[in-house]
Amino acid sequence: MSRVFGGARWGSRIAVFALGLLVSVVAVPVFAQLPTATILGTVKDSSDALVPGASVTAQNSETGASRSISTDETGAYRLAALPVGHYDMRVESSGFKPTTQKGLVLDVGEEAVLNFTLEVGSTLQEVVVTGEAPLVNTTTASLGGLVSEKKIVDLPLNGRNFLDLVLLQPGVSQDVVVVHLGGGGEGTTYSSNGAPIISNNFLLDGTPTQNVLGYNGASAVGTTLGLDGIREYKVITNAFSAEYGMNMGSQMTIVSKGGTNQFHGDVFEYLRNRVLDARNFFDTSYGQCLASNSGNCKRNPPYERNNFGGAFGGPIRKDKTFFWGVYEGLRQAPRAFPPRAWPTGRARSLRATPTV
């Protein structure tokens, strides 16, 4: 009995160890691909000497969340895994005036380099710099582009498909050869720098969202995630770092939108019908109706498309917990062209009589 119990105990230990190893291995790449950003830099005084032990604090002006760190012996600091958004930076050190930088905007996947120069003085005095800090990417050689929240809101999108904005990036070309038969083949498909159309990786908050065929994350009817649920996304088309993988074409990192300390939301409705649409060139029913003088002729067949929805969010507990909800609906009754006039059986049986 003890042998069986001991064997079961060792078996349980091995199973727990294997499960823990699997979780740790799987968690490493997921953590590396989170939709976050980094702020790094150095702190010096007015004589260009390094300032170790200075306190650097980054506070999100939208949610009130803050992170602090102290500079090392070389005066350097690094705040990693920060949620994207607007930040205020504050640097404090004994014997120097506190310095605050306001209006820093962090985009997904960005490594913002922000250096500070402290002035000698009392801690009761403060230096405040307002306005967005000019940032130049000096930490990565990756190629790609950012589709910001402003672009998503301002640029026209037929069908509210956010994937269409990927086509604005250099090296990306839309594929028009794929026959869309549903079941994972719908939506916008594209090639990045000549790679196959199934070589693009789509990450929503670090989670892959490709469909069964690997083209994109569109549904069977071609719709994608609602625009009001996306804050921004970045498309990396070349020379991406080792934290990305799975595909060789491009990497899309999407950041979902979340609530803030302010309540806000929106509603929308887009309508298309036969009155607003042009007549199909190959639809001859309107002309046939006019020729027959049957009356009540419609220029277009019946057609209705309603794309509607809304979003709302805000704080549950200020500076602590937030919510954001999105709904987007599509109701479409596709136009049905009237059947064409085909020869009757008697007409098909008649044969032309040759004349002499």
User: Can you give the pLDDT at residue 246?
Assistant: 78
Domains of the chain: 36-129 (2.60.40.1120), 143-256 (2.170.130.10), 264-333 (no CATH)
The pLDDT of residue 160 is 87
Closest CA to 66 of 82, 42, 55, 54: 82
Helices and strands of the chain, counted as H and E runs: 4, 19
Give pLDDT, residue 26: 44
Higher pLDDT, 344 or 253: 253
Q: Which of 76-85, 298-307, 319-328, 341-350 has the lowest mean pLDDT?
A: 341-350
Per-residue pLDDT at 244:
80
How confident is residue 274, by pLDDT bands cut at 50, 70 and 90? confident
| pLDDT at position 32 | 46
Instruction: Please report, in angstroms and rounded to a whole number, the separation of the first and last CA atoms in the chain.
Output: 110
117 pLDDT above the threshold of 60: yes
* Dihedral sign, Cα of residue 272, residue 274, residue 275, residue 276: positive
Mean pLDDT of 112-120: 92
Query: pLDDT digit string (tens) for 309-354?
Result: 999 999 999 999 999 999 999 888 766 555 555 555 666 666 555 5
The answer to whether residue 74 scores a pLDDT higher than 90 is: yes
Residue 81 CB: number of other CB atoms within 10 A?
Answer: 10
Place 13 in a pLDDT band, splitting at 50, 70 and 90.
Answer: low
Global confidence as pTM = 0.75
* Rounded average pLDDT over 215-235: 84
Whole-angstrom distance, CA of residue 63 vs CA of residue 69: 19
25-70 residue pLDDT tens = 444 444 445 789 999 999 999 999 999 999 999 999 999 999 999 9
Over residues 132-152, mean pLDDT: 79
Give the per-residue pLDDT at 67. Answer: 95
For residue 216, what pLDDT band results from cuts at 50, 70 and 90? confident
Q: State the pLDDT at residue 344.
A: 59
Residue whose C-alpha is closest to residue 298's, from 324, 335, 331, 328: 335
Q: Output the pLDDT for position 21.
A: 54
Q: What is the predicted pLDDT for the residue at 51?
A: 95
pLDDT of 5 higher than 70:
no
Three-state DSSP state, 290 = helix
Over pLDDT 70: what percentage of the chain? 78
pLDDT of 266: 93
Q: What count of Cα atoms within 13 Å lies in the side-chain half-sphere of residue 137?
A: 14
List CB contacts of 146: < 8 A, sequence separation 6 or more: 107, 108, 232, 233, 234, 235
Confidence class for position 2, pLDDT limits 50, 70, 90: very low
Q: Is residue 152 within 8 Å of 218, Cβ to Cβ?
A: no
| H or E element that contains 171 | none
Average pLDDT, the chain: 81
Give the residue, 355 or 141, on which the prediction is more confident. Answer: 141
Cα separations in angstroms, 297 against 286, 287, 289, 352: 6, 9, 6, 35
Percent of the chain surpassing pLDDT 90:
40
Overall average pLDDT of the 273-281 stretch: 79
Mean pLDDT of 298-307: 81
